[in-house]
Amino acid sequence: MSFDSLTFVAFFAAVLVLHRALPWRAGRIALLVASYVFYGTANPWHCLLLLAATAINFAAARRIEATADDRGRKALLAASLIASLGLLGAFKYGAFAAVSLNAVLGALGIAAVPVPGWALPIGISFYTFQTLSYTLDVYWGKERATRSFTDLALYAAFFPQLVAGPIERFGKLMPQLREKRLPGPGDMEAGFQRILWGLVKKTVVADRLGVFVDQVYAAPGAASSPALLVATVCFGLQVYMDFSGYCDIAIGSARMMGVSLTENFRWPMLSRNPIDLWSRWHITLSTWFRDYLFTALVGRRRPGTPRRLLNLVIVLTLMGLWHGPAWHFVLCGLAVGLAVAAYEGVYLVTGRSRAKPLFGRGWLSAALAVSLMNLFTLVLVLLFRSPSLADVRAVVSGLCCGSWSFDPVVAVYGVAAVLLWAICVATGLLSGETRKELPLAAPLRAVLWFALLLALLYGAVDTHQQFIYFQF
């Protein structure tokens, strides 16, 4: 069930009525059932995987907390990690691993192994990481293991953020789901307005940009250099509007049920360095890798040490692989890892204090840093969008050696992309790089809602496009 469908509108309206009407003992069960219904509309059998991930981590956390022996605790944690990541690996990376292995076996003259043909369960990466974080927090003593399977099942399956995040921590989300929270009129209005913004960003902006991007990237070898350049810029804006739009709808929907979800974006186009980028883009994923993988590998080593730099590259490469079973995602993560390691390495070599930005603190220095980061982001976007390494080579070749013929359609999208980017930058600067809610009077809010609804009715594209992060 997609957020931008009439089916979801009817579903969410029914959930809100039940949330208000039922006592919370029954309301929690109804919300859990509704979350599984929401997830099962894509493929009912995939609900079994969600249930399995929940059961594995529920049992592991209980046993870990009850075990005093350190070796036994480590064995239980390892079993939980193997089982959870095994499900993720089999269903998401099984075919990729088999194809890659067959390429090696073919070169050695060895018979190929079968390639799995099962469909990728939507959101499996998100709920796997979310349930794993619970078990790891119990192991490290940050959380107590819950005695209620319903608690953990609701935490894992809460439908607003189930499919594509934000990736929530047990200690933040679960207390909000243990008791009934009725939002006030201000929360209802703010949540509804957030949903409208998310729908406009997805259906009016992202999907419209996607039509042009898909046309160009379908045959990059036949496209002109300006078309490839504009399409790459447009895709960067498309994926931001698409994913942040999803998060807006998720956060708005949860708020209308009295639940606060974590912000997942903080104006990434204002990033000044590679590290800053990951404090602004998909924040809950980058902090997950930082807290549960990078910190475990690095410990308390000071910034700039060789092992820390190597682990940065490894972790960010794995973050690229998290996005999908393809080598261009691995290359994208590797590029980010090398950039972050190089940025930290400068401080190591020069002995410069990390309190002093490399480009200084003036507005001109900041503008230069932001411009360089946006250029670097274009490289990441190119790697992210190209479905294979052959397409990466075709796009790079077209950008460097393609024709520069004029196309009015490309020019229109180019102007639109520049204006949209400028609006995002200006809005981020004016809001202090946070998401402040403007205290609009009721008549102005009504006008804003009416304008957003008109944009949805008359500006949305005719062809429905799936949210980009559903594939991860």
CB 208 within 8 A of CB 273: no
Distance CA 166, CA 180 (A): 21
Residue 32: which of 168, 126, 150 has the closest Cα?
Answer: 150
CA distances from 202 to 206, 351, 468 (A): 5, 45, 10
Distance CA 19, CA 13 (A): 10
For residue 360, the 8-state DSSP code is -
Report residue 87 as tokens: 């499900």
CB 3 within 8 A of CB 467: yes
- Residues assigned a catalytic role: 323
Distance CA 109, CA 357 (A): 54
Which sign does the torsion angle of CA 136, 139, 142, 144 carry? positive
For residue 291, the 8-state DSSP code is I
Residue 445: which of 257, 263, 191 has the closest Cα?
Answer: 191
Full 3-state SS string of 179-239: CCCCCCHHHHHHHHHHHHHHHHHHHHHHHHHHHHHHHHHHCHHHCCHHHHHHHHHHHHHHH
**Helix H or strand E encompassing 417:** helix 408-430
Which sign does the torsion angle of CA 355, 357, 361, 363 carry? negative
318: exposed, middle or buried (Cβ count in 10 Å: 0-12, 13-18, 19+): middle
**Helix H or strand E encompassing 440:** none
Residue 245: which of 466, 31, 10 has the closest Cα?
Answer: 466
CB 153 within 8 A of CB 54: yes
Residue 88: which of 120, 58, 118, 133 has the closest Cα?
Answer: 120
For residue 328, the one-letter residue type is: H
CA distances from 312 to 260, 303, 305 (A): 31, 10, 11
CB 193 within 8 A of CB 371: no
